[in-house]
A and B are shown apart, each in its own frame.
Chain A
Amino acid sequence: MARSRFSLRERGILIALFLFWAICAATNAMFRETSTYLSILRESSFVGVSAVGMTFCIISGDFDLSVGSMLSLLGIACVAMVGHTGLLLALVGVTLLGAACGLVNGALVALLRIPAFIATLAMYFIYRALAYIVTNGQPVQFQEPWFTSVGNGSLAGVPTPFLFLVVLAAGATYVLRRTPFGRRVLAIGNSRRASEISGIQIARVRLAIFTLVGAFTGVAALLISSRMWSANSGMKIGYEFDVIAAVVLGGTSLSGGKGSVLNTLVASVFFASLNTAMNMFHVDSYMQRVVIGIVLLFAFSLTGIRGYVGEKLRLRQEAREAPKVAPGGESVAAP
């Protein structure tokens, strides 16, 4: 079967990650300790969980700029809830609340047909404003260990948040690759018109996708507020860019049509590794930003994000992958 699951170009981010780890391990003693890597895995989950949901969104050709603001609102709700409902119900509750927020976003984009960029931009302001109003600008806290251990603890040596990430990513990958819904997400990102002709209810699928993004962000909110023992309306400003960057760095193109949850996960780990490395190398915190920006640029130009494509580049690509037709016209289909 001529099917290559592991094509080098598609797993570029994984290679970049290992290279990076290798370089760090060679130059810094801390990077030879297991605890460092565990810490990286933990940190990666906070962005990663939401990025898993965002992957669906970007594959389908949309994106959601409001997840950071959603996060603050949901984090507050979670912390407020957890004392009364206990951990499990709080998890369910924040996920449902997140789904509700996502549903609102989805309604604006899919039903009212407002461009995703603008609609979620507006919600970016609105959710955070709501978060502020609800708490009067004050942070909310909850310090019971059974709550804070979710974000800060580990199970069988693996950081708990990372377990969440792995489980959710596995589930998401399954849904994307092996369910009709996942196929529809891909189809919509490939061609709206062809999807319509195939009988796909585009509005319904987009609505579902935004709801998913909200739900995943809810889980992320629980993990983060548990980690911080608190939540407030100013938390994680700029989160949405981190999330979208993780998805795009993982190789999912902003124009949609294809993507990989696994790559998003790896990209989240990469970012966390980068942040950790800079701290370990005592890079000035402001300089860290500069470094992250430059790394992003470097990575984007490598992992094949080609937005500005000249005719020549596209044609060269086409020619490289021209279908193989045997002379005499025999079928070359795989047996």
Chain B
Amino acid sequence: MADAIEIRRITKTFPGVAALSDVSFTVRKGEVHAVVGENGAGKSTLMKILGGLYRADRGEILLDGRPASLRSVHDAVAHGISVIYQEFNLMPELTVAENLFVADLPTLPGLPILRRRTLQSRAEELLGRLALDLDPRAFLKDLSVSRRQMVEIAKALHHEASILIMDEPTAALTDAEVDKLYEIIRTLREQGKTVLYISHRLKEIFDVADRVTVLRDGRYVGTEPVGALTPDAVVRMMVGRDVKQFYAHGSGVGGEEVLSVEGLTRAGAFQEVRFGVRKGEILGVAGLMGSGREELVKALYGLVRPDAGTIHVDGLPVRIASPEDAIRLGIGFVTEDRKEAGIFPLMSVRENVTLNVLRRIARFGGLHVDERRERGLLGEYTRFLNIRYASEAQPMMFLSGGNQQKIVLARALATRCRILLLLEPTRGIDVGAKAEIYQLMGELSRQGMALVVVSSDLPELIAVCSRVLVVWQGRITGDLSGDQIDDATIMRCATGTARTLAGEG
């Protein structure tokens, strides 16, 4: 039986960058094949070549044993390849059914009149093939991210795709939604489809993939069955060096309490929340999507207004009505939505870093921005965080995800905050940068900063945090420290099946 895809000596160069050099490997029919590699390793480029968006400079692609010409998205689709990108190609103001069949809407014979009932039944049939529980009449904009993704996958099936390529499919999903995705992937495999899966999350690779291919710096490193590897081995292949101490622990508790919250309530988000954070502590906040964990942390930064409750900073009661208040109190914030809410894409790297502290570094009473001081600040953080960019004037949007995140971090740190709130700090970032960020978090906590980290990545929380709060339906169901912090306990608290608070359990 021929292989589903054979990639032979593919090379692709952009001006100044060799994105792919002489890459060759095969993907077998009906397998779930993961492709991993750091940012810049070339996985995205390869996927875009398979998807018909780019043309390789050299080499060829064989599909089902025959050379295939993939000059356009149309060609790729005709060959049965469907790519599911991180930014879904869906139209929010259309219904699910309309999105699925927008390229060939059923009409009356000869007349351009829509047959909505046919559309509905076709949609139901398609969704049924994947056992998806979606209302075809629902507007896409009303659906959650995970449901939109399901529509995207169903759309791929509609085009009779035999090869589905998924680029970071779990980036915005909760654990429960990820499980649902795994189910869908397994269903696809049962139906004989081939799935190419790009992800930074090693846990997922080990959960769902059959084989994994590693790329590094545009070159092929190796392909192994997942069973024959350990996560460390994969990381070593990706990074080309031993990454010791992938996770780093905080300095542990010890300092005095810098932030405490009592009776914090907001209708529909969280109720009667009570906890404290100490100097030097890395406090994790876990919970399923919709549990209220993000709103809770945002309330500490003035992005969400609580209806009741008190917040104390350094023992003194404070009112945090806006980010401005929070910054003044020494609280910093790093958002989870880097693209929309984290970076200023058209502004330069330098401008991005200094934005929060302009008045402090400006001269003449905060009126004249001194570029030399700006550059100094940028240099400081570039060294501290090991940020890579072509030049300080480079527009932010051209940096890789990991470096962008570091700049966002630098901007928050520049305010000399003593408490740092982070939402999903390592989402969509390659392994190398992740490790650096963990090291950094450890370093910051050793310097006395208190960190509050909201993350969906359980291994991350478990390894990095000295204490973990678990939120379920707006309430704290778990306050775990030390040995208590493990997968099972966290999940039990997150689903409301257990309550483990400090001093109990």
Q: Is the A/B pair a real complex?
A: yes
Chain A residues at the B interface, C-beta cutoff of 8 Å? 1-4, 177-180, 183, 186-187, 189-191, 193-199, 201, 257-258, 311-312, 315, 318-325, 327, 329, 331-334
In the complex, the chain A residue whose C-beta lies closest to that of B298 is: A197
Number of interface residues of B (CB under 8 A): 55
* A300, B450: Cα distance in complex, Å: 51
Among B19, B341, B368, B411, which residue has its beta carbon within 8 angstroms of that of A191? B341
Residue B303 at the A interface, CB < 8 A? yes
Contact between A324 and B16, CB atoms less than 8 A apart: yes
Among A177, A197, A324, A332, which residue has its beta carbon within 8 angstroms of that of B335? A197
Contact between A193 and B340, CB atoms less than 8 A apart: yes
New A-B pairs, 10, CB < 8 Å, besides A190-B346, A196-B323, A322-B14: A180-B359, A180-B366, A180-B367, A191-B344, A193-B337, A194-B342, A199-B324, A257-B344, A324-B16, A332-B389
Contact between A2 and B390, CB atoms less than 8 A apart: yes
- Known pairs A3-B392, A197-B323, A198-B323; A324 contacts B344 (CB<8 A): no
Chain B residues at the A interface, C-beta cutoff of 8 Å? 14-17, 19, 40, 48, 53-54, 73, 217, 301, 303, 322-324, 326-327, 333, 335, 337, 340-347, 351, 355-356, 358-359, 362, 366-369, 382, 386-394, 398-400, 403, 411, 432
* A190, B340: Cα distance in complex, Å: 9
Residues of chain A within 8 A (CB-CB) of B342 are: 194, 197
Residues of chain A within 8 A (CB-CB) of B53 are: 311-312, 315
Contact between A258 and B346, CB atoms less than 8 A apart: yes
Contact between B369 and A179, CB atoms less than 8 A apart: yes
Tell me the dominant secondary structure on chain B's binding face: loop
How many residue pairs at the A-B interface have CB separations less than 8 Å? 134
Contact between B347 and A199, CB atoms less than 8 A apart: no
In the complex, the chain A residue whose C-beta lies closest to that of B323 is: A199
Contact between A331 and B382, CB atoms less than 8 A apart: yes
26 A-B contacts (beta carbon < 8 Å)? A1-B391, A3-B393, A180-B358, A180-B359, A186-B344, A187-B344, A190-B346, A190-B347, A191-B344, A193-B340, A194-B344, A197-B335, A197-B342, A199-B323, A257-B344, A257-B345, A257-B346, A258-B347, A311-B73, A319-B19, A322-B398, A323-B40, A323-B388, A331-B388, A333-B391, A334-B392
Contact between A334 and B391, CB atoms less than 8 A apart: yes
In the complex, the chain A residue whose C-beta lies closest to that of B432 is: A329
A184 to nearest B CB, angstroms? Answer: 8
In the complex, the chain A residue whose C-beta lies closest to that of B346 is: A257
A202 to nearest B CB, angstroms? Answer: 11
Residues of chain A within 8 A (CB-CB) of B387 are: 331, 333
Residues of chain B within 8 A (CB-CB) of A334 are: 390-392
* A2, B14: Cα distance in complex, Å: 20
Contact between A319 and B343, CB atoms less than 8 A apart: no
Among B303, B343, B351, B400, which residue has its beta carbon within 8 angstroms of that of A323? B400
Residues of chain B within 8 A (CB-CB) of A318 are: 398
Residues of chain B within 8 A (CB-CB) of A4 are: 393
B400 to nearest A CB, angstroms? Answer: 6
* A318, B45: Cα distance in complex, Å: 12
